[in-house]
Structure 1
Amino acid sequence: MLKKLSIGIMVTLLILVLAACGQKSKEDVVNKLEQTLEDMSGYQAQASMSLKTGEESQKYNIDIAHKKKDYYRVMLKNDQDKEGSQIILKNDDGVFVLTPALNKSFKFQSDWPNNSSQPYLYQSLVKDVLSDAEATFKATENHFVFETKTNYQNNNNLPYQEIYFNKKTFTPVMVKVLDKDKNILVEVEFSSFELNPELAEDTFEIEKNMTSSLLGVPAMAEATDVEFEILYPATNLGAELAESKEVETTNGKRVILTYEGAKNFTLVQEQVTAYPASTTSPEMIEGEPVSLGFTMAALSSNSLEWNHNGVNYYLATEELTREEMIEVATSISQTAVK
């Protein structure tokens, strides 16, 4: 009887030991994520990104290509503004934001994507996991889930994120970016993720990306004859509209809005009625590419420039911080009220 009992106890202990061996710890998963990044030659992924930072949600389809050491191509297609679909490109020549349909491109002196969290880039997600010693971890049936702090240098309203990694491949499946109250403001869902793909030699060349129809819209599309509606920011940060001036230019109508008060700024809106007929050299920006939710913008220390629905916007100030410029700009897309 005692012998049978002893054997039973030993079998039970063995089962428990084997079960414990099958459960990966937080450290095991982190080490595997690091190793996967180290061993891969690159990746290609497709995802959808939903942003709920304004009155209306925005949705992008994203195609990401990466090749070691430091080549990236992120294609952002917005079905609500097809001509505004964009490509973020990084190669040996620098960092670029391209809008092929408008034949518009910016070149940045920037450390993108290493200077801020990027919810659709594998390296950024793993870096955020490694950087947060207080990151929480849990395992579900199909995923390893981390909740970490984020590093959005120009946006303090997105301090947390939940990252879901595939249990078998250790690649990202879903990312939820949260506000201070843990509400989901940005959600990225990966529909496919391929490690070590064969990428065409010209995948990261600016000329190829500017002159092809990779985004599903014609490169250098014809400008559409849409009524020019002047939009006003809902967030003025203590300033009031002091002057509104309209001028005619060779490209169309330009409106200059001057705000004065606690912090002064000028907002210029210019309707695009004609796009360049051939590829031009990128415009140099002493700054960095930033997301406004509805489009990518070029941010410098005292200006912010972007295009949306066929209108060029330029925000200039000596007094607003970078975060405040983004706050004013994002409120412009939400209202046409002075």
Structure 2
Amino acid sequence: MKTKIIAGAGTILLIAVLLVVLRPASFTSTLQKQVDKMDGYVLKGDMEISKGENLKTYALEVGYHKGDVQQFKVSLTDKELNQEQQILKNKDGVFVITPSLNQIFKFEGDWPLNTPKPYLLQTMNDIVQQKDTKIKKEKEGYLISAKVNYPSSQSYHHEDMHFDKDGKIQWLQIYNEDNVVELKIVFNKVEYNTNFEKDYFKTPTTLEKEKSTSAIAEEDLPLYPVQVFSSKLENTSVVSSGGETRHILEYSGDKDFTVIETKKKASDETQTVIMPLDMMDSMELIGFYDGSHMSVMYDNVEFSVYSEDLEPEEMMDVISSMQVAVMK
């Protein structure tokens, strides 16, 4: 009997050794090696952003090239408004390209790797590498489930991603704490180690004015934010100067802040504007922040929030809630 037990234990040990030897490399290490070794990538797909009853759809393109200087290009086209905006990082700096205004905004900073971005393969890899991430091997690839933290989108709570057998991302969904999907991206083109056209990451000097549909007219202003952090609207005023009309909303309460809304006109010639501010992007919005003030350009309207009490993420929440109100 004793001999049988020993033989059985030896057999179990042998099987365990064989399993270790024959087991393929884990998905975490495989993806990490892919990201480390690749020269660049292109991701294209369709993105949906849901906020309450509002659903917005975008065409998304992300390009990355390692090289001596890491270069990034993110293009986001609002399908309803037919408006495109690009964020570009190259050796000359970081640029926000806005054809609808015929303007290019230049600023300093380490975008986009300063904070996690759902559309970046680097961020996806970081999520996969987290200790508490769950990885399920399926017939068609790998399903990833993890808790997430996106500072510029604080309602994002957890995320699912699906990669194919070759480690190429197919789709991702981000949920809020109530398990409601707030962001969904379906990728229809994924290329690793791709070859880019010569001027792909080059900053344009002139822009082609695009035909777009504006959802916000001058007579629609002012818009009123839904997210006011328990503060109350105390005063409204209108100031006209330099051919522009500024609508001013003053809120007071636990957190005081002022909102200024200005409809902007496209420049006749392409302008490059130097921005001495930090940039924040929350997927569909791009904000410029200087410590006590944030400005966001949406549908040719400049929304600015001034406050000593609000955090930058809260300022973005105020502006985002105006966008939601517009689309109702």
For the criterion TM > 0.5, the same-fold answer is yes
Q: TM-score, normalising length from structure 2?
A: 0.85
d(CA) in 1 for partners of 2:216 and 2:145? 47
Instruction: Tell me by how many angstroms 1:20 deviates.
Output: 9.2
Partner SS, residue 30 of structure 1: helix
Partner of 1:245: 237
d(CA) in 1 for partners of 2:270 and 2:110? 25
CA gap 1:18/1:51 in 2 versus in 1, 3 angstroms: farther
d(CA) in 1 for partners of 2:316 and 2:215? 27
Instruction: Tell me by how many angstroms 1:184 deviates.
Output: 1.6
CA gap 1:76/1:223 in 2 versus in 1, 3 angstroms: closer
2:202 to 202, 205, 221: 205
d(CA) in 1 for partners of 2:257 and 2:263? 20
Partner of 2:37: 39
1:160 to 158, 161, 175: 158
Instruction: Tell me by how many angstroms 1:37 deviates.
Output: 1.5
d(CA) in 1 for partners of 2:213 and 2:56? 24
1:210-225 matched pairs, under 5 angstroms:
211-212=207-208, 217=210
CA gap 1:117/1:104 in 2 versus in 1, 3 angstroms: same
Deviates more, 1:189-198 or 1:147-156: 147-156
Instruction: Tell me by how many angstroms 1:43 deviates.
Output: 1.3
Structure 2: which 5+ runs fail to align?
1-15
Q: State the identity as a percent.
A: 25
Partner of 1:5: none
Alignment length, in residue pairs? Answer: 310
Instruction: Tell me by how many angstroms 1:55 deviates.
Output: 3.2
Partner of 1:4: none
Instruction: Tell me by how many angstroms 1:205 deviates.
Output: 1.5
Instruction: Tell me by how many angstroms 1:294 deviates.
Output: 4.1
Question: Is 1:281 aligned with 2:272?
Answer: yes
d(CA) in 2 for partners of 1:78 and 1:156? 22
Structure 1: which 5+ runs fail to align?
1-15
**Partners of 1:234 and 1:328 within 8 A in 2:** yes
**Partners of 1:43 and 1:195 within 8 A in 2:** yes
Instruction: Tell me by how many angstroms 1:108 deviates.
Output: 3.4
Partner of 1:81: 81
Runs (4+) off by over 6 Å? 16-23, 221-225
1:113-152 matched pairs, under 5 angstroms:
113-130=112-129, 132-152=130-150
1:167-186 matched pairs, under 5 angstroms:
167=165, 169-186=166-183
- The aligned amino acid for 1:275 is A
CA gap 1:178/1:222 in 2 versus in 1, 3 angstroms: closer
**Partners of 1:48 and 1:189 within 8 A in 2:** yes
1:312 to 275, 298, 302: 302
CA gap 1:140/1:38 in 2 versus in 1, 3 angstroms: same
Tell me the C-alpha RMSD between the 2 structures: 2.8
Question: Is 1:254 aligned with 2:250?
Answer: no
**Partners of 1:255 and 1:268 within 8 A in 2:** yes
Partner of 2:92: 93
**Partners of 1:223 and 1:275 within 8 A in 2:** no
d(CA) in 1 for partners of 2:183 and 2:215? 31
d(CA) in 2 for partners of 1:21 and 1:104? 58
CA gap 1:37/1:149 in 2 versus in 1, 3 angstroms: same
